[in-house]
Structure 1
Amino acid sequence: MIGIDLFAGGGGLTLGAKLSGIHVRAAVENHPSACLTYQTNHPDTVMLAFDIAKVETIDVGKRDQPLVLFGGPPCQGFSTSNQRTRHAENPKNWLFKEYLRMVRTLRPEWVVFENVAGILQTDGGMFAESFRQQLKDMGYKVAFEVLNAANFGCPQRRSRYIVVAALNAEPELPKASADAARPTLWDAIGDLPELSNGAMEDVLEYGNDAQSDYAKAMRCGLAKCSGHLVSRNADSIVARYPYIPQGGNWRDVPGMMRDPITDRRRYHSGIYRRLMKDAPSVVIGNFRKNMLIHPTQDRGLSVREAARLQSFPDHYQFCGSIGFQQQQVGNAVPPILAKAVFDNVMAIASQAGEN
């Protein structure tokens, strides 16, 4: 099977597709740092570094195998944490029309669409329902479900809305196995080095031996890896961290050390959240803005720690400023979840005699 990744970001979906044996021939992404990350890790895939509205069609060469078109428009407009712009007028919410335009243009045998689960609530689910109906109008059979990455081996409770559509087969979503590995946060990051607030040395050796089979798999036999960058938070903010236990948040900070009451509206349960060692992580998302705290160290997460919680292997390099790297990691679909979806697509396509 061959693939095309739309709204590719740093390449989480592409990595999952490749792990399933799909030859991803082209990708579309218009953010320069994300393009650089994608090209660094997927040099054999043609990168179209344009606004998708300016892409008329995509040449993947000879269509000698079934084509799967996959991706997801930017999810900020559908996110439950973005209530002010979570409505039809947000222009980002209409990028799914560009996705559908490429489906009409390329007529792939398979379509995989992903987004945040909040798309099901935005304007009463209008976008999700409209997207599925338009696929059906083009002759596709459609299946959809909200999948939790933690049920597929990811050390993070992260729900994604997944649509799988097929022209010549009955699509399905993968089912989590009852005995599937469910690594904890410490299984994922316990072997990474100790760091300080504002750490900026990118490449370091590991802190100790891998704490789990998951960590061992992420290390890929490396002796050192990149991504050990931590945002520099003000001393006044870091002084609050020791008061917050694992699983706690800003409410555990003594009143005299909190921000003025006028700023309290900005707070929610995820702000100043200290992560728990012995459970899957909460959603990483914008981990810098939320100031997610390391479970045992008084600092935010490093780029590599967040990447581990997203199931990116340690050889995967993120490019651009620390802010852009954090954005790429936080926005990504966990590759381990993507692989489960594409494995299922490949199995159904094989049964249907497509490959």
Structure 2
Amino acid sequence: MIGIDLFSGAGGMSLGARMAGVDVQLVVEADKYAAATYLHNHKPKYGIFIDDIRKFQPQTPFVNRSNGLVVFGGPPCQGFSTSNQRTRSALNDNNWLFKEFVRVVKLYQPDWLVFENVRGILETEGGIFAEQIINEFESLGYTVSADLLHAHHYGIPQKRARFFIVGSLHGIKYNFPKPNPSTIVTVAMAFDDLPKLENGASICTLPYAKETTNSYTSKLRKNLNDCSNNLVTRNNSIIIERYKHIPQGGNWENIPEHLMNNYKDKSRCHTGIYRRLCANDASVVIGNFRKNMLIHPSQDRGLSIREAARLQSFPDDFIFKGSIGFQQQQVGNAVPPFLAKAIFESLLSQA
């Protein structure tokens, strides 16, 4: 099956699609840094359109659609995020970019569509966005299924909920892959063989600390001898001192008052700030892990790019490009590849 990826970001959803057997041939992504990462790791036949999707017009027809066509992607989700209350309304223009997804579906009339977004799209404005998106797809003749999937139920070490809409142009009612909540991949398992790092670590490529000891890291490590993107934000000394007081599972509330004097009202901090990950559980949502100052379970520092990528299920041979800030954003925004893989494997089995 041929694939078109809209709002691709660094390519997490494309990677999952490719793992499942989809030939992703055309990509649209406005951010040039995410596009650079995408092109480093993927080689779409018809390239990538690096600009505002509102300027995108089909140029190259797909001459062979005998095996089917799927259009997939996730419009910008920050406006629906539960951590961005100020932008969770119909007044945020980015919350209407789903209409561009609908426009492209209308132009190509793919056999299948896969639309992805955050849980917050079900809550914003009483759920009108999710309802309208489903109605738009149905008006184009698609048989639509929708569900909220939890990444840690699909072998990913992160408690990340993502909303999916899958539609068939041929009257097929899509069945979502079955979750397996009984087997949880933990943070400790994900970080098992990664190198020990310091605050501000800046050497990109390093050897592994040891041989891998679990199936999850084996799948991500493959046959590599070293891994890249071992970069950590350099926090100042007061931030590091705060980290020292936070136990696994704790957050800013564990920091002594005298170390929080620069906050006018620290009680207004949300619970995700200064969160130290629990080694023996799946991670909290990665999201903007630098801004939230997510803390390594046993080391007093923030997460490295590679550690966050492990929590998202990116394999170690997937290289992120750009400055550390852009890399962090790309990892945090991505759809976990293993979750996308499960979606597309189920789709291909039903196509």
TM-score (norm 1): 0.96
Counterpart of 1:6, as a letter, is: L
**Aligned pair partner of 1:175 in 153, 174, 178:** 178
> SS state of the match for residue 327, structure 2?
helix
Contact 2:27–2:44 (8 Å) recurs in 1:
no
Match of 1:320 in 2: 322
Aligned residues: 348
Following superposition, the deviation at residue 177 of structure 1 comes to 3.6
Following superposition, the deviation at residue 94 of structure 1 comes to 0.7
Following superposition, the deviation at residue 260 of structure 1 comes to 3.7
Counterparts of 1:240 and 1:177 in 2: how far apart (Å)?
Answer: 37
Counterparts of 1:139 and 1:14 in 2: how far apart (Å)?
Answer: 25
Contact 1:25–1:60 (8 Å) recurs in 2:
no
Residue 71 (structure 2) pairs with residue 69 (structure 1): yes
Distance of aligned partners of 1:121 and 1:50 in 2 relative to their CA distance in 1, 3 Å threshold = same
| Root-mean-square deviation (Å) | 1.2
1:184-239 Cα deviation digits (max 9, x unpaired): 11100121011111111000001112131101111011000101000011111111
Counterparts of 1:58 and 1:253 in 2: how far apart (Å)?
Answer: 56
> SS state of the match for residue 215, structure 1?
helix
**Aligned pair partner of 2:305 in 303, 306, 325:** 303
* Structure 1: gaps spanning 5 or more residues: 350-355
Match of 2:52 in 1: 51
Following superposition, the deviation at residue 171 of structure 1 comes to 1.6
Matches within 5 A, 1:220-299: 220-264=222-266, 266-299=268-301
Counterparts of 2:330 and 2:289 in 1: how far apart (Å)?
Answer: 11
Following superposition, the deviation at residue 60 of structure 1 comes to 4.8
Counterparts of 1:330 and 1:265 in 2: how far apart (Å)?
Answer: 25
* Structure 2: gaps spanning 5 or more residues: none
Match of 1:26 in 2: 26
Distance of aligned partners of 1:187 and 1:54 in 2 relative to their CA distance in 1, 3 Å threshold = same
Distance of aligned partners of 1:316 and 1:105 in 2 relative to their CA distance in 1, 3 Å threshold = same
Contact 1:188–1:211 (8 Å) recurs in 2:
no
Matches within 5 A, 1:93-242: 93-168=95-170, 169-177=172-180, 181-242=183-244
Counterparts of 1:234 and 1:60 in 2: how far apart (Å)?
Answer: 53
1:279-313 Cα deviation digits (max 9, x unpaired): 00010000000000000000000000000000000
1:318-341 Cα deviation digits (max 9, x unpaired): 000100000000000000000000
1:48-67 Cα deviation digits (max 9, x unpaired): 11211001225353123210
Match of 1:343 in 2: 345
Counterpart of 1:29, as a letter, is: E
Following superposition, the deviation at residue 19 of structure 1 comes to 0.4
Identity %: 52
Contact 1:33–1:320 (8 Å) recurs in 2:
yes
